[in-house]
Amino acid sequence: MKFDIELVGKIGSMALINKDYRDLNYNVIARLSRELAPGMAWVTSGAVEIGRLDYVRRNDEELDGTPENNKTDYAAQGQSILMQTYRQYIDSRYSVRQILVEHQHFNDAEKSRHLRDAILRCPGQKAIPIINYNDTVNSEENRKMEFAALKREREDVHECVDNDETAAQVAFLVKSKRLLILTSVDGIYTDVRDPKTLVKEISGKNAHELLENISRCQEFCSGSSREGAGGARAKLEYIKAPASNGTEIIIANSAYPMKDVLNGTAPRTRIAVR
């Protein structure tokens, strides 16, 4: 099977934050950044939380606006820090390109093609695209109106507010060989309270059987790492599209080096056709 890009990766907000110091986890982002290379597209969360922590550090208090306005302002403040940090640690031989996406980039055919072409040009130009959902210019009220209009026309509407869905849609769009989702846990569990129930592999003899087994595993999933996140059940729903396209999906902990996760020497959940 032919793939157009080697890997799409995604890291979640909580995996980027050092809870003890209430700051960006520079050790994690530095290690990951040094492993990024052309042929990879990286979807990153963290702008809102990093912006919030930075604002509190400078002002000794949180913003007192509406939740929607605070999210907008924190995201705008956090994006610059996030991109500056990736640029600092990614190999200086490679270009770094910020790509901010919104749901219409996956719901409109022309915008999808434009986004796909921009990402696929990167490997040949020795560039690494860093992708994030554009929280700064999106309000919940506008999104709801746009989604309602789209759903009157079609069933397969992609919201992509959750970067797990964004990463899955990017992997599907560019037909990635692998999709790596890094979180604050080791993978998918049948009982999130018991580390021994880590699901090491979900597989099937073909795409149809694989999707059935993913759905079966969803029955055991509940909970999420933070308020507003979809959790393991949502992750498994989002990855069905790239899985049906032949993409190998790996869900693992950001605490481990990427190379160890990809080659299977670190704990993980691997999802693929046998």
Q: Summarize pLDDT for 49-99 with one digit per residue, the tens.
A: 999 999 999 999 999 999 999 999 999 999 999 999 999 999 999 999 999
**Domain count along the chain:** 1
User: What is the helix (H) or strand (E) element at residue 8, kind and residue range?
Assistant: strand 5-11
Q: For the range 52-61, what are the long-range contacts, defined as Cβ-Cβ under 8 Å and sequence gap of 24 or more?
A: 52/78, 53/17, 53/22, 53/23, 53/24, 54/78, 54/81, 56/22, 57/23
User: What is the helix (H) or strand (E) element at residue 74, kind and residue range?
Assistant: helix 67-89
pLDDT score at 226: 43
Bridge partners (DSSP) of residue 189 are 198
- What Rg, from alpha-carbon coordinates, does the chain have? 18
Helix axes 163-174, 109-121, angle to 10 degrees: 80
CA proximity to 214, closest of 260, 184, 251 = 251
**pTM attached to this predicted model:** 0.90
Residue 47's CATH number: 3.40.1160.10
Tokens 């999420």 identify what position? 224
Query: How many Cβ atoms sit within 10 Å of the Cβ of residue 196?
Result: 7
User: What is the helix (H) or strand (E) element at residue 249, kind and residue range?
Assistant: strand 248-253
Q: In this predicted model, what pLDDT tens digit does every residue of 160-205 receive, in sequence order?
A: 778 999 999 999 999 999 999 999 899 999 888 899 999 999 999 9
Burial class (CB in 10 A: 0-12, 13-18, 19+), 249: buried
CA gap 43, 163 in Å, rounded: 7
Q: In this predicted model, what pLDDT tens digit does every residue of 140-162 receive, in sequence order?
A: 666 666 667 777 777 677 777 78
pLDDT score at 141: 63
| Max Cα distance, the chain (Å) | 56
pLDDT score at 151: 73
Domain, as residue range, for 18: 5-273
Q: For the range 54-63, what are the long-range contacts, defined as Cβ-Cβ under 8 Å and sequence gap of 24 or more?
A: 54/78, 54/81, 56/22, 57/23
Q: In this predicted model, what pLDDT tens digit does every residue of 226-273 receive, in sequence order?
A: 444 458 899 999 999 999 999 999 999 999 999 999 999 999 999 999
